[in-house]
Structure 1
Amino acid sequence: GAYLVPYLVLLIIIGLPLFFLELAVGQRIRRGSIGVWNYICPRLGGIGYASCLVCFFVGLYYNVIIGWSIFYFFKSFQYPLPWSECPIVRNGSVAVVETECERSSATTYFWYRETLDISNSISESGGLNWKMTLCLLVAWSLVGLAMIKGIQSSGKVMYFSSLFPYLVLVCFLVRGLLLRGAVDGIMHMFTPKLDKMLDPQVWREAATQVFFALGLGFGGVIAFSSYNKQDNNCHFDATLVSFINFFTSVLATLVVFAVLGFKANIMNEKCVVENAEKILGYLNTNVLSHDLIPPHVNFSHLTAKDYNEMYRVIMTVKEGHFKELGLDACLLEDELNKSVQGTGLAFIAFTEAMTHFPASPFWSVMFFLMLINLGLGSMIGTMSGITTPIIDTFKVRKEVFTVGCCIFAFVVGLIFVQRSGNYFVTMFDDYSATLPLTVVVILENIAVAWIYGTKKFMQELTEMLGFRPYQFYYYAWKYVSPICMAVLMTASIIQLGVSPPGYSAWIREEVS
């Protein structure tokens, strides 16, 4: 609830107007991002080059995520799933559970050790991870093949890559709603959190998601729209895509919170069992009196409600020495708030939840095939933001340039498949695109609204579309969108000053 409201507001006042602007500019001028801005003003060609650079940075690390998904996809064709149990290692003549796994969890261990084989810090490269290097090579090969086939063939691929994820999401939603605790997760999702809604960080993240979801500033939208017919109703396209995008975001969020609610219930039950054992131990050693236990509590069938009642009684009576007991509250809300984010959401939280599904390999194969499809679709758009403007401007051969670009990106991307590679992915994801994209989109907006002229642009749109766009777009392009983005850019710069760039490291010895 705290995130969807800012996302919808920013989608309407920034996302939709600027998505329409990029579609209209590409369709009207019929060039890539460099040619478009050179046409508007010869001194603005740098905007196109900046878009290409951002696309390159994003493509470098984004394809690594596709590589991770490919690895998990192939690992899903086995039962039980390889991340469902901790591995057993030999310690002399004794077989013991791997310590790092035992102290964390099977899915966490599989992610950090089996998949990434992660080092303790970004300064410890640890050499290349050959498994991830091979997966990255496969990912770049797929992207290169799709790009060489061109816009027509990739358009056909897009039908599958766009519709298949909806099929998977709907299946996951139906399956998720049947899980115990799914309703708790969805209620948590829609519970208003006004304090977080007023947090500038939430609005910054929502704006970043709008940019990435619609592809604003990357140049891919301009590149694709340059292939449209001159009289295509790009306003309808912009409106339809924007709100399908919002609907998809809500659908995906429902799936995520249904699964997280299920996982939170499992973790909460585990917490109740572990703490109930502690209480039984204290009762047997007379640290706690049996009088503190409500008469209806049955330790053989202890519910979370009974445990919470017992916990409150013990906390009240043993107020002075309660911390020494080491008991947890085991609140479902706490488990939901602890839910992982970022890459950990797909590769730790979801994989752990899927181990509890019936026919878990099937769901895992479907999930990671969906991620690969979505990732490849995004990469085609991102790489088009590089290839189309460069090919249009310098008249190079498409096949040669595309292959060369993919090979160069693969070589540079080897930094992300070192043992320390995940830290570089995190740093690039957090800092390489958000601020540059904001600057690029502000400059695009100013170029059209203030240099080319909003009235002139609106008149050309009227001739191209056959009707005059709503006056809302005039004020959005000229005032609302640039002011809002300037505020967001200022907030981002202040945030960088207050909180210097950093990352979370996985320390093997500490298992955290």
Structure 2
Amino acid sequence: MTEKPPLDSSEDRAWLGEGHSETQLADVNGADEAGDDRPAWDSKIQYVLAQVGFSVGLGNVWRFPYLCHQNGGGAFMLLYVFLLLIVGVPLFFMELAAGQSIRQGSIGVWKHISPKLAGIGYSSCIVCFYVGLYYNVIIAWSLFYMGNSFQYPLPWEQCPIDVTTNDTVKECAGSSPTSYFWFRKALNITNSIEESGEFNSIMTGCLLAAWTIVSLAMIKGIKSSAKVMYFSSVFPYVVLFIFLIRGLMLDGAIDGITFMFYPKLEIWGNVQVWRQAATQVFFALGLGYGSVIAYSSYNPVHNNCHRDALMVSGINFMTSVLASMVVFVVLGFRAKNIAERCVAENLGLLNLMMSQESNQPLVKLGWPWISTTDPSTVALADYRQWYSQHSSMMGPNITDCSLEEEMNKGVEGTGLAFIAFTEVMALFPASPFWSTLFFLMLLNLGLSTMFGTMQGILTPLMDNFSILGRHRTLLTVSSCGLGFLIGLVFTQRSGNYFVTMFDDYSATLPLVIVVIFETISVAWVYGTDRFLDDIEVMLNWRPPVVYKYLWKYVCLLAMVGLLAASLLRMVFKRPTYTAWNQNTVRSHTHTHAHTHTHTRTHTHTHTHRKTSFRNSLFYVT
């Protein structure tokens, strides 16, 4: 075997420091025989669960279904699979192979190719820290809701009574019980980001609990976090299947599934749909964070990382499909429920109108089976057909009741989890059980991704700085403590707006740029032929030559195109965030005059929605 040294081994030695092997990408025998003291996974299942747990996160549950629904259903899925195969899997395989062969975190891997590339690894660490700051806030919110689920009835089932007026609280009456509980009871949110407000003491406690859980799970590295992964990575699948089975029994479930899978092939000509699909592929696999590299660095050198790339990517996609089915059977039930309530309200108005004119309980307009006294006997389709023929005679108070219109109201992110889903679960028998199950699932999805995010910070630092490697516990606790202290900005009453800002701008562009430089480093600096030679030594077989062209051209051009599309979108679309106004009980769109400060001027644009579904985690894994 011909060993291929790094591009500048002398400079590399100086950077790596004492106690780190001058591992070459092809020097796999040395890695196996040296018997170094690097931690390793106890079993292959631990490693797979860790990679799946990191890549399968909240975005699979509340981002992918929304994109699928908004962008052509089954047609979007086909486009997603296409981009997953030609961009996602090759880049994921590249990170797995690099980490496994060099057995270093992200800093060490790219510095090994050339010390001048170490900045790629440091950039990954910084982005991981940014993401971890606000991602743990979502875990804190899940803890809060899970704690409030041990009540009957659930506290968001109905509006509270104002003790001073002995009437329903005005803010709740003007929106909905679930919206009121989210914006006022959970967040106690201000009207804009400029009004910071005091700290939310309950959310501060939940955030402290979230960081404590992460710290305890990470304190002994993969030896401790891997044990937690057995539960945190598997439990969400159990819950998703339970919800799917329960959801399929609901009225309106089939309507939801049909709505989800109905293909609209014309979307393939829309550039923005391609951008959204590529972005989802990119972030769903967790590329650029350094966590994939960190996890694979603890593998045996001869592990089949190519099979792992295909398996984890496949599981990730199937999880997105499963989650989409769960979301749409639930939203189908919700839409059917809202439409039927609409029919009942309209028939009640008709009955009132008719009682003022005659005692005839039936509408004599060609549809004698439209009973105004018993709405339960009126099918939604019959009402809509009747309305289509007689709406002009009924006046503005009698409205159409469209299930499709309700389904068309795209719901994602926190709007899906903390408003739409809580509304539906309040309708279930034994609602506290279902609510607890749902938020425990969100908690575990968040934690498994958070473990990977923290590993993307800790592993490179401990590999690169021997003094930090000798004080793992102190580094872990200090990192989590610092994350909690900085994260207090998110527990202000205006904290939700900062979460939205961080989500939209802290990770998207940096991660795309990081992956572009990763691809250039492997494909053009180190060389694809050389890299494939190293992989051949590891796997004892050579990957298909198509990877050479995918890495050198297709993936790189796709990432550059995604970067360009994202930059153009930022240039032509001014940054906005949606705020909740307590006085008008409506969501408002705030447009920033500047994008680099947190205190900005803004304009208000009233929307017609009663609840804000915009506050969402678009690009988290």
The AA in structure 1 aligned to 2:125 is: C
Indicate if the aligned counterparts of 1:26 and 1:222 stay in contact, CA closer than 8 A.
Answer: yes
Does residue 132 in structure 1 map to residue 203 in structure 2? Answer: yes
Displacement after TM superposition at 1:466 (Å): 0.3
The whole-number CA distance in structure 2 between the counterparts of 1:164 and 1:498 is 42
Partner in structure 2 of residue 86 of structure 1: 159
Does residue 414 in structure 1 map to residue 485 in structure 2? Answer: no
Partner in structure 1 of residue 101 of structure 2: 28
1:348 pairs, out of 419, 423, 432, with 419
Corresponding residue SS for 1:504: strand
Displacement after TM superposition at 1:7 (Å): 2.2
Does residue 393 in structure 1 map to residue 427 in structure 2? Answer: no
Indicate if the aligned counterparts of 2:279 and 2:562 stay in contact, CA closer than 8 A.
Answer: no
The whole-number CA distance in structure 1 between the counterparts of 2:276 and 2:282 is 10
Displacement after TM superposition at 1:348 (Å): 0.8
Root-mean-square deviation (Å): 1.8
Normalised to the residue count of structure 1, the TM-score between the two structures is 0.95
Corresponding residue SS for 1:19: helix
Q: Deviations over 1:340-368 (max 9, x none)?
A: 21111111111111111121111111111
The AA in structure 2 aligned to 1:304 is: L
Partner in structure 2 of residue 50 of structure 1: 123
How do 1:34-433 and structure 2 match up within 5 A?
34-92=107-165, 95-284=166-355, 291-292=364-365, 294-299=367-372, 300=374, 301-315=377-391, 317-318=392-393, 325-395=396-466, 396=468, 397-433=471-507
Partner in structure 2 of residue 19 of structure 1: 92
Corresponding residue SS for 1:505: strand
Percentage of matched positions with identical amino acids: 57
Displacement after TM superposition at 1:464 (Å): 1.0
Partner in structure 1 of residue 584 of structure 2: 510
Q: Deviations over 1:352-396 (max 9, x none)?
A: 111111211111111111111111110010011111111111221
Q: How many residues align?
A: 504
Displacement after TM superposition at 1:200 (Å): 3.3
Corresponding residue SS for 2:481: helix
1:3 pairs, out of 60, 67, 76, with 76
Corresponding residue SS for 2:369: coil
The AA in structure 2 aligned to 1:417 is: T
Q: Deviations over 1:200-224 (max 9, x none)?
A: 3333333333233221100001111
The whole-number CA distance in structure 1 between the counterparts of 2:410 and 2:368 is 34
Corresponding residue SS for 1:506: strand
The AA in structure 2 aligned to 1:54 is: V
The AA in structure 2 aligned to 1:240 is: M
Indicate if the aligned counterparts of 1:276 and 1:307 stay in contact, CA closer than 8 A.
Answer: no
Corresponding residue SS for 1:149: coil
The AA in structure 2 aligned to 1:116 is: L
Displacement after TM superposition at 1:470 (Å): 1.4
Partner in structure 1 of residue 614 of structure 2: none
Indicate if the aligned counterparts of 1:125 and 1:418 stay in contact, CA closer than 8 A.
Answer: yes
Does residue 450 in structure 1 map to residue 524 in structure 2? Answer: yes
Indicate if the aligned counterparts of 1:339 and 1:349 stay in contact, CA closer than 8 A.
Answer: no
Indicate if the aligned counterparts of 1:435 and 1:492 stay in contact, CA closer than 8 A.
Answer: yes
The whole-number CA distance in structure 2 between the counterparts of 1:239 and 1:307 is 50
The whole-number CA distance in structure 1 between the counterparts of 2:555 and 2:253 is 38
The AA in structure 1 aligned to 2:227 is: K
Displacement after TM superposition at 1:8 (Å): 1.5
Corresponding residue SS for 2:163: strand
Displacement after TM superposition at 1:286 (Å): 6.3
The whole-number CA distance in structure 2 between the counterparts of 1:465 and 1:280 is 75
The whole-number CA distance in structure 2 between the counterparts of 1:89 and 1:456 is 72
Q: Deviations over 1:207-244 (max 9, x none)?
A: 33323322110000111111110111111111111101
Instruction: Structure 1 unaligned segments of length 5 or more: list them.
Output: none
The whole-number CA distance in structure 1 between the counterparts of 2:452 and 2:560 is 26
The AA in structure 1 aligned to 2:484 is: F
Corresponding residue SS for 1:127: coil
Indicate if the aligned counterparts of 2:244 and 2:325 stay in contact, CA closer than 8 A.
Answer: yes
Instruction: Structure 2 unaligned segments of length 5 or more: list them.
Output: 1-72, 587-621
Distance 1:426 1:212, change over 3 A: same
Normalised to the residue count of structure 2, the TM-score between the two structures is 0.79
Indicate if the aligned counterparts of 1:260 and 1:339 stay in contact, CA closer than 8 A.
Answer: no
The whole-number CA distance in structure 2 between the counterparts of 1:346 and 1:290 is 41
2:555 pairs, out of 452, 473, 481, with 481
The AA in structure 2 aligned to 1:492 is: S
The whole-number CA distance in structure 2 between the counterparts of 1:330 and 1:204 is 34
Corresponding residue SS for 2:568: helix
Q: Deviations over 1:104-135 (max 9, x none)?
A: 11111111111011111111111111111110
The AA in structure 2 aligned to 1:444 is: E
